């Protein structure tokens, strides 16, 4: 069955402001710059995607990425969106140099195909779930402000709270204990964003365990490249250890599995694109490892991608898709509905 062909690819820079500065290990951001990708078909259909580049994780810079527009357009011109894997394959060339662009263009192809056939993307991918529940994140801050932020998130109904740690072990311990005290009944995903040494990470986990803190996942305690360190923390901690910065491509995921490094993998479309994310889902489920899905600084257009991916595959126990809640009034709506802590693909 022949469908409409790609006539044009448009990239445009989109500036967003955070509601308040977002502080994680090694980074404080008050604004972010994303790239809106529009895939224009010969019949006027426009498929949307959004790239939210990360210099810290992927080495990507928005001003360089927008200059790829012409290259991508030349690669995809006249391709039929009814054969989306051929478009995926083309974009795999950017797996390391521009993964957020790969993700946005691959999703724009799915979105175009979805519009052509009148079926939502999450159903093309299998429709395993009809909604997902997201957590919400507390950045690095003073003890008082961290407690206030966590309490407010818990009061809004979020059952899982993501806590950023990794810049100061002793302060992190005090913050975690104070947060746990003031949000009793909550569960936590703790993310060190590579900030600890393996031994400090083990110490952190031991103290948390001593206080019976309900940590579902202890994410990326050590440097991205330190696979041995991840395995060391895993072997000496009661909490499931997750990889985030350590896993970008499907090849990283296979290596983490082979070397027995982690209990969880955090898939972000901005690191892996749709194609590698699909492969990682299958590999990780086969290996019996847990799966969470995260985000960079996507606006609602970008979060749409992860909502449809997560509901389509149904693969994740933990969803950290709150970036759109941290940004000031994004102009464009996404193809999902948001009711309290739940996200529904539409």
What CA–CA distance (Å, rounded) separates 221 from 244? 9
Any catalytic annotation for residue 328? no
Using CB under 8 A as the binding rule, the residues of this chain from 1 to 60 that contact its own copies are: 1
Asked whether the beta carbons of 47 and 80 are under 8 A apart, the reply is: no
- Minimal distance, residue 129 CB to its own copies, in Å: 9
CB of 316 to its own copies, least distance (A): 13
Confirm or reject binding of residue 79 to its own copies (CB under 8 A): no
State which H helix or E strand residue 51 sits in. strand 46-51
Give alpha helix (H) positions in the chain: 55-58, 62-65, 69-76, 84-91, 99-117, 121-124, 143-155, 169-182, 198-210, 227-235, 250-258, 269-286, 300-313, 323-326
Residue 89 in contact with its own copies, rule: CB under 8 A: yes
- Window 297-326: contact mask with its own copies (x via CB under 8 A): ---------------xxx------------
Site mask, its own copies, residues 123-162, x = CB under 8 A?
xxxxxx-x--------------------------------
> Going residue by residue from 212 to 251, which x/- string records binding to its own copies, judged by CB under 8 A?
--------------------------------------xx
To its own copies, the closest distance from the beta carbon of 343 in angstroms equals 17
Selected binder of its own copies within 171, 283, 338, 342 (CB under 8 A): 283
For residues 323 and 110, what is the distance between their CA atoms, to the nearest angstrom? 22
CA distances from 271 to 60, 99, 155, 174, 237 (A): 10, 5, 32, 32, 27
Tokens linked to 227: 């696979």
Contact 31, 17 (CB under 8 A): yes
Choose between 37 and 257: whose C-beta lies nearer to its own copies. 257
Q: Which stretch binds its own copies (CB under 8 A): 121-129, 143-151, 161-169, 181-189?
A: 121-129
Q: Residue 220: which region, alpha, beta or left (left: phi > 0; alpha: psi -120 to 50)?
A: left
Structure-token pair, residue 229? 């360190």
119 touches its own copies by CB under 8 A: yes
- Which of 5, 10, 23, 83 forms a contact with its own copies (CB under 8 A)? 83
- Give kind and range of the element (H or E) at residue 267: strand 264-267
Tokens of 170: 């002793």
Among 11, 16, 22, 88, binds its own copies (CB under 8 A): 88
DSSP class per residue in 98-113 = -HHHHHHHHHHHHHHH
Mark residue 194 as left, alpha or beta (left: phi above 0; alpha: psi -120 to 50; beta: remaining).
left
Residue 96 makes contact with its own copies by CB under 8 A: no
State which of residues 253, 291, 303, 310 lies at the interface with its own copies (CB under 8 A): 253
Catalytic residue among 102, 162, 248, 268: 268
87 versus 190: smaller Cβ distance to its own copies? 87
Assigned token pair, 33? 């710059």
Q: In what order do the strands lie in the sheet with 132-133?
A: 132-133, 342-345, 336-339
Q: How many CB atoms lie within 10 A of CB 148?
A: 15
CB of 260 to its own copies, least distance (A): 10
Pick 109 or 169: Cβ nearer its own copies? 109
Taking the complex as a whole, the smallest distance from the CB of residue 185 to its own copies amounts, in Å, to 30
Single out the catalytic residue among 102, 162, 164, 250. Answer: 164
268 is catalytic: yes
Binding residue for its own copies, selected from 278, 293, 296, 307, defined by CB under 8 A: 278
Binding site for its own copies (CB under 8 A): 1, 80, 82-86, 88-89, 117-120, 123-128, 130, 250-251, 253-254, 257-258, 278-279, 282-283, 285-287, 312-314
What is the set of active-site residues?
A: 164, 268
């Amino acid at each position: 069955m022949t469908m409409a062909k790609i006539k044009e690819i448009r990239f445009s820079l989109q500036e967003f402001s955070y509601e308040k500065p977002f502080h994680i290990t090694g980074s404080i951001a008050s604004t972010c710059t994303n790239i809106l990708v529009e895939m224009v078909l010969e019949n006027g259909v426009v498929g949307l995607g959004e790239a939210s580049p990360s210099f810290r994780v992927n080495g990507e810079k928005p001003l360089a990425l927008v200059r790829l527009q012409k290259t991508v357009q030349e690669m995809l011109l006249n391709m039929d969106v009814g054969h989306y894997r051929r478009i995926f394959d083309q974009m795999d060339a950017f797996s390391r140099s521009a993964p957020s662009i790969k993700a946005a263009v691959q999703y724009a192809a799915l979105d175009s195909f979805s519009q052509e056939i009148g079926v939502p993307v999450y159903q093309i991918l299998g429709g395993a779930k009809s909604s997902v529940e997201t957590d919400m994140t507390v950045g690095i801050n003073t003890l008082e402000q961290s407690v206030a932020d966590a309490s407010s998130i818990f009061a809004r109904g979020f059952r899982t709270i993501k806590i950023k740690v990794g810049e100061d072990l002793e302060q992190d311990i005090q913050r975690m204990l104070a947060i746990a005290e003031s949000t009793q009944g909550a569960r936590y995903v703790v993310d060190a964003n590579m900030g600890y040494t393996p031994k400090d990470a083990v110490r952190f986990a031991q103290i948390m365990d001593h206080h019976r803190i309900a940590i579902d996942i202890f994410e990326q305690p050590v440097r991205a490249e330190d696979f041995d360190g991840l395995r060391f923390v895993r072997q000496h901690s009661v909490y499931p250890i997750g990889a985030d910065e350590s896993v970008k491509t499907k090849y990283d995921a296979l290596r983490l599995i082979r070397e027995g490094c982690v209990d969880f993998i955090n898939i972000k479309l901005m690191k892996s694109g749709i194609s590698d994310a699909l492969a990682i889902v299958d590999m990780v489920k086969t290996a019996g490892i847990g799966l969470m899905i995260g985000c960079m600084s996507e606006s609602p257009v970008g979060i749409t991608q992860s909502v449809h991916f997560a509901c389509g595959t149904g693969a994740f126990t933990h969803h950290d898709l709150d970036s759109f809640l941290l940004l000031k009034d994004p102009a464009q709506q996404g193809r999902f509905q948001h009711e309290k802590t739940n996200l529904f693909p539409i």
